[in-house]
Structure 1
Amino acid sequence: MERLQGMQSTGTSMDFVTVPQTDAYAAQIRENLKAITLPDGFKIDLYAVVPDARHIAVGPQGVVTFVGTRKQNVWAVTDRNRDRVADEVKEFAPSVEFTIPNGVCFSPDGFLFIAEQNRVLTFPAAEFFYESPDVALGEVIKKGNLVPTSEESFNHTARVCRVGADNMLYVSLGQPYNVPPPEKSDLYAEQGIGGIIRMNRDGTGREVFALGVRNSVGMQFNPANGDLWFTDNQVDGMGDDKPPGELNRATEAGQHFGFPFFGGGSVRTTEYESKEPPAGARLPEVEMDAHAADLGMDFYTGQSFPEEYRGGIFSAQHGSWNRTTPIGARIMFTSVAADGSAGDTKVFAEGWLNNNGEYLGRPVDVAQMRDGSLLVSDDLVGAIYRISYSE
């Protein structure tokens, strides 16, 4: 780390780990995609084989797309000949040891941020340094300082990040429990655990932006008015059909979104049903199906999709793990009204969960490409798909 920060070589091998893109595994993924249903005019294709693919950051220069994982790799995905299929998938920054580098996001001026389990790094000009094993980097938050090490958990530590129009970095901090014990309340409120924090891009000025968030693994700013929207995963073990999943909207700093007093929507948790919720606690803009596991999301600002999709939200449902009848594994679309509130929500793409209750894939994140097409990650299959439209 010190050598990289000093712009010095580390001696890391130039023999990158790469992922084959033209073998039988890729061919079978393409075969499975025939089961996916979309509205008329849309089609889905395999963009890249990317092991453990989670959150997606499309480079603002259009050179390369970065993909995080819940393991130790960040992948650099390049379509060199611009045929809308990736030619190369290779390990990003092999000279850096990552721990659950799930959250990847770009600033408009080309800085890549990676939010790990308990660290945040930044990579200036990542789209151009990625060809080398050594990359320019900075520590936004040093390892062990994102959350107290006493709260460093294997559970709910897939962070996500975004850079807002205020040029501040926003990071979600899922709390480790299904429902946290009351004795954790003060510490979590102070640190922003079970919430969203924000800071200057160099890590200074850290503050808690929102609380009452159980485990958000997807957020994006509405470019029309600056509101921060985010998904949240509800409490487990309350039944197949409750509580609902959430799509939330933060209109200003300091708002509370109900957890753990509410397990999802307006459904009270057993553990906190006798306690008074915070005054003004906000209910979700959209209640999603219970246990569908709503994760990554993005606003659609492109021009290639029909008018009805422009300005709306695409979001990924990972699929249930503890529901008697599985649900989810699909892409949802939510329209956004002129006043900034949510309109209708409907299924946009489905078929990854077949009639036998078998998962053919588990979508994680969505991200818009510069050409207006939509990328979808899948950490079960280990792939990135591309959804495009033609009349």
Structure 2
Amino acid sequence: MPACPRHAAWATTLLGALTLPVGAQAQGQPIMVPSTDPGVPSVAQTGPQADAIRESLRRIKLPPGFRIELYAVVPGARHLAPSPGDGVLFVGTRQATVWAVTAREGQRMADQVRPFAPSLRFRLPNGVCRTRDGGLVVVELNRVLRFPAADRFLERSDTTAIPVVAQGGLVPEDEESPNHGARTCRVSPGGRLYITLGQPYNVQPRGKVALYERLGIGGIIAMNAMDGSAREVVAVGVRNSVGLDLHPTDGTLWFTDNQTDRMGDDTPPGELNRVTRSGGEHFGYPFVHGKDVQIAGTAVAPDLKGLAPPAQWTRPQVEFPAHQAQLGMSFYTGTMFPPPYRGGIFVAAHGSWNRSQPSGALINFVPIQPDGSAGPSRVFAHGWLDESGSYRGRPVDVAPLKDGSLLISDDLAGALYRVSYSAKDSTP
């Protein structure tokens, strides 16, 4: 089915990266807003909630030598944007808040957590990431903002927000949906901003397949992080990616992809993917999920029966157990952890909802082989899902800190955890 004229016109504008839809705010117009609101108190870092989180962490199992501790109480904590240096850690949410988390250098726990630029009225600001010079990018449901020199916000009463993509310019407004609307992002050393765009259905209907591939919905797009120019579709055939990262050496893009629901407890698998070609590489969806699970024409997508699959598509690097909901991922770039972990990928599995017996709520580790491909995945941390099938926490994202420790966010407990390693603790 061809796209409607409105969508076709929007796509032309989008890919040309010249103008924005009617009514959208002009790109590049700086907005001065207060950095903080004195009337909003900081989040308490001590008391019953912090004590309960620490008690729950006693259940978490890690390999010998590793230790997990509460780093910060952060309500609804989702994706993480650490400072390239020793500055502020920013945390996205699925609500209307971006949190600024500060800690003194060398501290094992944060000192202060408070809302960042609260007057901007963020809408689902899940995606936070850093530019090389320490700037912050916030990717909302349908807007992208950049904050230069974000680490210095504590020194100033105001901060500057620059629209990289104005409101209504990330996807057409009638394709906007909070379902699969949690964007994630990364900025390359060369200044390219990569953004995941989940498609808003369990399986998109037949009339949306070609449109979504053209716009990069159900895929990944890239643009200039400074002004949104040179926009392109990098990957398509993706159901709902909520995590991506760039290989620290070869610069290749890797991303997670969430499973199709209502297909049974054990199918289809979750995915970890690697982009190896330029120009809208196809990863199979909605024709297949994983390496060979048919989607088109099945009970979850009967209207896709007979729809021609892509001539070429890329299989996942790793298949994870079904419905564990792999979200955030990050290459481990530190040196605190033992050599087998260096250069590998940590992946947060949020945990299932579409399964008779819950599964997930853990952290996986995936090594990278000498040829650049992924090795076998293994569980690194688990215990947030208890014996009764109840979640005590749900990991969302992972990020290495400057000292080589690893942060884990948890939106159920409303917390950040710090994982550290000591060789002396690894001996029996």
TM-score, structure 2 normalization: 0.88
> 1:208 maps to which residue?
233
Determine the structure 1 residue equivalent to 2:170: 146
Residue aligning to 2:208: 184
Matching residue within 259, 268, 288 for 2:285 = 259
In structure 2, what is the Cα distance between the partners aligned to 1:243 and 1:386?
32
Partner of 1:331: 363
Q: Which residue does 1:104 correspond to in 2?
A: 128
Corresponding residue to 1:219 among 230, 240, 244: 244
Counterpart of 2:269, as a letter, is P
Alpha-carbon distance in structure 1 between the residues aligned to 2:197 and 2:203: 15
Aligned-partner residue type, residue 331 of structure 1: I
1:155 pairs with 176, 179, 194, which one?
179
Q: Deviations over 1:120-168 (max 9, x none)?
A: 0000000102454521120000001100000011200000000123321
What are structure 2's unaligned runs of at least 5 residues?
1-24, 424-428
Q: How do 1:61-210 and structure 2 match up within 5 A?
A: 61-80=85-104, 82-130=106-154, 132=156, 134-201=158-225, 202-210=227-235
Describe the shift of the 1:250–1:226 C-alpha distance in structure 2 as closer, same or farther (beyond 3 A): same
Question: Shift of residue 264 of structure 1?
Answer: 3.4
Which position in structure 2 is the counterpart of 1:375?
A: 407
Distance in 2 between the 1:282 and 1:179 partners?
Answer: 19
- 3-state DSSP of counterpart to 1:213: coil
Residue identity matched to 1:88:
Q
Name the amino acid aligned to 1:336: I
CA–CA separation in structure 2 for the residues paired with 1:349 and 1:222? 22
Picking from 32, 39, 54, the partner of 1:15 is 39
Please tell me the residue identity of whatever aligns with 2:353.
W
| Cα distance in 2 between the residues matched to 1:135 and 1:117 | 21
8 Å CA contact 2:101, 2:114 repeated in 1 = yes
Shift of 1:352: 0.2
The alpha carbon displacement at 1:251 in A equals 1.3
Partner of 1:349 in structure 2? 381
For 2:309 and 2:269, the matched residues in 1 are separated by 18
Q: C-alpha displacement at 1:115, in angstroms?
A: 0.4
Does the residue aligned with 1:27 lie in a helix, a strand or coil? Answer: helix
- Provide the secondary structure at the position in 1 that maps to 2:367: strand
Which residue matches 2:15?
none
Q: In angstroms, what is the RMSD of aligned CA positions?
A: 1.8
User: Does the Cα contact within 8 Å between 2:68 and 2:419 map onto a contact in 1?
Assistant: yes
Q: Retained in 2: the 8 A contact 1:163–1:169?
A: yes
Give the SS at the match of 2:343. coil
CA distance in 1, matches of 2:210, 2:404: 44
Shift of 1:187: 2.0
Letter in 2 for 1:27: D
In the alignment, the residues of structure 2 paired with residue 154 and residue 17 of structure 1 have an alpha-carbon distance, to the nearest angstrom, of: 28
| 1:291-335 deviation line (CA, Å, top 9, x unaligned) | 000000000111100010001000000000010111000000000
State the AA in 1 paired with 2:397. Answer: D
- The SS at the match of 1:336 is coil
Matches within 5 A, 1:242-391: 242-253=267-278, 254-269=280-295, 270=298, 271=301, 272=304, 274-391=306-423
Instruction: State the alpha-carbon separation in 2 of the partners of residues 299 and 162 from structure 1.
Output: 12
Q: Give the alignment of 1:49-68 within 5 angstroms.
A: 49-68=73-92
Range moving further from structure 2, 159-168 or 20-29: 159-168
Following superposition, the deviation at residue 188 of structure 1 comes to 1.1
Task: From the superposition, tell whether residues 273 and 263 of structure 1 become closer, same or farther in structure 2 (CA, over 3 Å).
Answer: farther
Matched, 1:228 2:260: no
Q: Aligned pair in 2 of structure 1 residues 332, 112: CA closer, same or farther (>3 Å)?
A: same
Q: Deviation digits for residues 255-300 of structure 1, max 9, x if unmatched?
A: 1001100133310111235333212211100000000000000001
What letter corresponds to residue 141 of structure 1 in structure 2?
V
Number of the residue aligned with 2:6: none
